[in-house]
Amino acid sequence: MSKVRIYTLAKDLGVDNAKMLEILDSLGVSYKSVSSTIEEDTVGLIKEMLAEEAASGTGAATSTDTTEADAAQTPTPQNISSQNTPTQAAPAPATAQSVPQPAVTATAEREPEAPVNTQPELPHRAPVVTIMGHVDHGKTSLLDYIRKTKVAAKEAGGITQHVGAFEARTSKGKIVFIDTPGHEAFTTIRARGANVADIAIIVIAADDSLMPQTREAIAHAQAAKVPMLVAVNKIDLPQADPERVKTDLTTLNLVPEEYGGDTIVVPVSARTGEGVEDLLEYISLTAELEDLRADPKGSFSGVVIESRVDRQAGVLATVMVQEGTLHVGDFLVVGEGYGKIKAMTDSNGGRIKEAGPSTPVQVLGFSEAPASGEKVVSAKNEHAAREVIAQRASDRRDAENARTQRKKTLEEMMGPLGETRTVNLILRADTQGSLEAIQGILAKKETEDVKLNVLLAGIGSPTEGDVLLASTAEATILCFNVTASGGVKKVADTKGIELGTFRIIYELIDEVDRLIKGNLEPVFEERYLGRAEVRMVIRHPKSGNIAGSYVTDGMLRRNAKAKVTRGKQVVYEGTIVGLKRFKDDVREVQTGYECGINLDWNDVQEGDIIEASEMVEVEQA
Ligand SMILES: Nc1nc2c(ncn2[C@@H]2O[C@H](COP(=O)(O)OP(=O)(O)OP(=O)(O)O)[C@@H](O)[C@H]2O)c(=O)[nH]1
């Protein structure tokens, strides 16, 4: 029995995706997304339903979106298919969809009036897409192909400067591509707390399948919780084996739709262009499901994609507008610096005066090059910009002071107690065999309370990218038989990332055990401090009997735990409540010194041995 993809069917029948899903729900048909497939039989039922509704004038084909744009149209099935372009009027929110809406028809006399959603909706914005994958799998070629075919010829012509992002025009609207392939850019941006990409395309060469950087790219996208699409590239090659890629993906728990999962896998060729249209269509579909919106009238915020210093022009920074609208003349604050926009160009080099959400713009006006991933906000005027910067500088100083070696509490590390916790790990090992062995053991360690989440299991030394991933995902990096370079260690240090290196698998596993235990309660350990011999008992009118002693080993400390042995027998366990050297109260007494010990116990005798210890919290990995 053949199957039909939901969104294709919706398109063919001229209903929008939301409506189609509503029909499927009413028929009790299960699906994962609009890109899932349904049985041919169901298609017949849907057609019948639509025909009946159309005949009874209930506007079956009418979108549940009761926007002005829809209302202005005569609702024929053809003119209401939803296209997620940024200029399109926004569909009604989910809550409005669940309210039965009278049909919108060409005859306006129908009563009562349809309940109109008075809350103005934010308009849709174009998706921002990043392309990641293993070296040589075709990321750049794919971006080049899209740029060549989807950026208007006159715009693409001439010398297009690389600005870090470009806008593609597709039949489904604008899609913005981050033009720096690879996950370094993605992670660098995320490491500064910003999220630029809405969708990640993982490119996998059909003749090579999963490679270490493919796994890394997937881990990065998953850590960022960014929806992923897999583009299996180079399908034009005779040795291409897209099926193998799909099977291999299942080993990472990414089950392609064809296999009953929800991972969209699109075969493409960046060389011939085959499948690229499909890929773009899937991007638009994913964007539609993500329901990406932004307020062009709101206050501006954006993120620096990249920046460089041009010898003639000065600092040129590419900023992605995320909210609001940017205008020439606006004051921008980045980190602890600011600038006034002297000029602005779009990603094709054309001068522009303003730019709304999901628009990458090159800005001239910063005095220093801001770093990728820095967040940008605007200020009313220069004075306001300076005020923001002064506040930031003072906040930073406070944070630096507060950070001085403050240990994170368990709750901060693991989330609230009493819930299932996740320990995020990045594993690095010398061979695939070791990795598998470690993962095999770890799989058995999971409990109801603690989940072990291996974000990335890679062969070879940990990279700076791993540290960035660890810092954004709050993960611990564990290395087996590989060590981090000095540079990577330094980055880990500055970011406060735990990076453990082990030569014995079970030591690594012990470390994981400690991490797991750390989830449950703090672990304390009794640590031996020292020992003293009682040489005489001094009777004190107020404090009771004081043990005049000589410290024979280590040291004694006030408030330490005390154990008194007489011969082989433990005769008392308590606390050292007072410690004196001659007449003075002291905190500690070292080996070789005499002291008076008050145990708040009167039966101490000459010859007793007082052993001191204290409870210390065991460092939680
Ligand atoms: N036959 C074929 N070759 C391709 C295709 N896509 C890319 N290539 C070739 O594969 C090689 C690598 O392509 P790139 O686009 O540079 O790959 P990349 O992933 O950007 O590589 P890095 O930037 O080094 O990470 C080049 O020689 C491309 O010509 C394709 O669809 N079919």
Q: What is the β-pairing status of strands 228-233 and 199-205?
A: parallel
CA of 150 to the centre of ligand 1 (A): 19
Evaluate whether 42 touches 2 at the Cβ level (below 8 Å): no
Averaged over 22-28, what is the pLDDT? 85
pLDDT for residue 93: 37
601 beta partners: none
Q: Which amino acid is at 220?
A: H
| Ligand 1, pocket residues at CB < 6 Å | 133, 135-141, 181-182, 233-234, 236-237, 269-271
Quick check: ipTM above 0.90?
yes
Q: Quote the CA–CA distance of 511 and 518 in Å, as a whole number.
A: 10
pLDDT tens-digit map of 143-167: 999 998 888 655 444 445 677 889 9
Any known ligand binding at 415?
A: no
Return the pLDDT at 100.
35
Range of lowest pLDDT (186-190, 386-390, 509-513):
186-190
What is the per-residue pLDDT for 80?
A: 30
41 is in an annotated binding site: no
477 vs 347, higher pLDDT: 477
The answer on whether 342 is annotated among ligand-binding residues is no
Distance of CA 155 from the midpoint of ligand 1 (Å):
24
Lowest-pLDDT range of 459-473, 508-522, 561-575: 508-522
Average pLDDT, the chain: 81
d(CA 305, CA 316): 11
Q: How far is the centre of ligand 1, averaged over its atoms, from the C-alpha of 136 (Å)?
A: 5
- Answer whether 470's CB lies under 8 Å from 497's CB: yes
Question: What spatial distance separates the first Cα and last Cα of the chain, rounded to whole Å?
Answer: 55
Centre of ligand 1 from the C-alpha of residue 308, in Å = 26
Mean pLDDT of 340-345: 94
User: Which atom of ligand 1 sits closest to the CA of residue 268?
Assistant: 31
Q: Separation of 205 CA from ligand 1 center, angstroms?
A: 8
Helix axes 212-223, 464-473, angle to 10 degrees: 20
Q: pLDDT for 486-500, tens place per residue? A: 889 988 888 888 899
**Looking at ligand 1, which atom is closest to the CA of residue 203?**
19
Q: Which of 6-20, 234-248, 463-477, 602-616 has the highest mean pLDDT?
A: 234-248
Looking only at the bridges linking them, the beta strands covering 359-366 and 375-379 are: unpaired
C-beta atoms surrounding 38 within 10 Å: 20
Q: Determine the length of the chain.
A: 621
Contact call for residues 507 and 557 (beta carbons, < 8 A) = no
Q: Report the predicted TM-score, pTM, of the whole model to 2 decimal places.
A: 0.60
Ligand 1 mutation pick, 131, 135, 136, 235, max ligand atoms within 8 A of CB: 136
* Whether 428 contacts 467, CB under 8 Å: no
What is residue 230's predicted lDDT score, i.e. its pLDDT?
A: 97
Tokens, residue 332? 């921008």
The whole-number pLDDT of residue 82 equals 35
CA of 140 to the centre of ligand 1 (A): 7
pLDDT of residue 1: 54
Residue 394 makes CB contacts below 8 A (sequence gap 6+) with none
Q: How far is the CA of 270 from the centre of ligand 1 (A)?
A: 8
Q: 236 among the known binding-site residues? A: yes
pLDDT, tens digit, 9 for 90 and up, residues 431-461: 888 888 888 888 888 887 788 888 888 888 9
CA distance 14 to 201: 28
Which of 139, 141, 201, 271 is the pocket-test mutation for ligand 1 (most atoms within 8 Å of CB)? 141
Q: What angle do CA 213, 214, 220 make, to 5 degrees?
A: 85
Task: Please check the confidence at residue 600 and state whether its pLDDT lies above 70.
Answer: yes
287 Cβ neighbours under 8 A, 6+ residues apart: 84, 126, 127, 175, 198, 199
CA distance 59 to 72: 15
Ligand 1 mutation target, pool 132, 134, 140, most atoms within 8 A of CB: 140
Give the model's pLDDT for residue 153.
52
Measured from the CA of 182, which atom of ligand 1 is nearest?
25
Q: Using alpha carbons only, how large is the chain's radius of gyration in Å? A: 33
Q: Are strands 561-566 and 578-581 parallel, antiparallel or unpaired?
A: unpaired
Rounded to whole angstroms, how far apart are CA atoms 555 and 492? Answer: 36
Beta bridge partners of 379: 331
Report the nearest atom of ligand 1 relative to the CA of 133: 19
Q: Report CA(135)–ligand 1 centroid distance (Å).
A: 8
Residue nearest to ligand 1 atom 14, measured at CA: 138
Please check if 182 is assigned to a binding site.
Answer: yes
The residue type at 229: L
- Count other C-beta atoms under 10 Å from residue 121's C-beta: 15
- The answer to whether 420 is a known ligand-binding residue is no
Q: How far apart are CA 282 and CA 280, in angstroms?
A: 5
Lowest mean pLDDT among 62-76, 253-267, 432-446, 589-603: 62-76
440 assigned ligand-binding residue? no
Residue 503's pLDDT is 86
Q: What does the alpha-carbon distance between residue 187 and residue 419 come to, in Å, rounded to a whole number?
A: 29
Is 183 annotated as belonging to a binding site?
yes
Query: What spacing in Å lies between the alpha carbon of 141 and ligand 1's midpoint?
Result: 5
| Closest listed residue to residue 363, CA positions, set 372, 352, 374, 371 | 352
How do beta strands 128-133 and 199-205 pair?
Answer: parallel
pLDDT tens-digit series, residues 236-295: 999 999 999 999 999 998 999 888 888 999 999 999 999 999 999 999 999 988 889 999
Q: How far apart are CA 104 and CA 48, in angstroms?
A: 21
Q: Enumerate the H helices of 128-275 as residue ranges.
A: 139-150, 153-156, 183-191, 212-223, 242-250
For residue 57, the model assigns a pLDDT of 65
Q: Is 424 annotated as a binding residue?
A: no
From the alpha carbon of 213, which atom of ligand 1 is closest?
25
Backbone angles phi, psi at 90, to 5 degrees: -75, 140
For the chain, what percentages of helix, strand and coil (3-state, to nearest 5) are there? Answer: 30, 30, 40
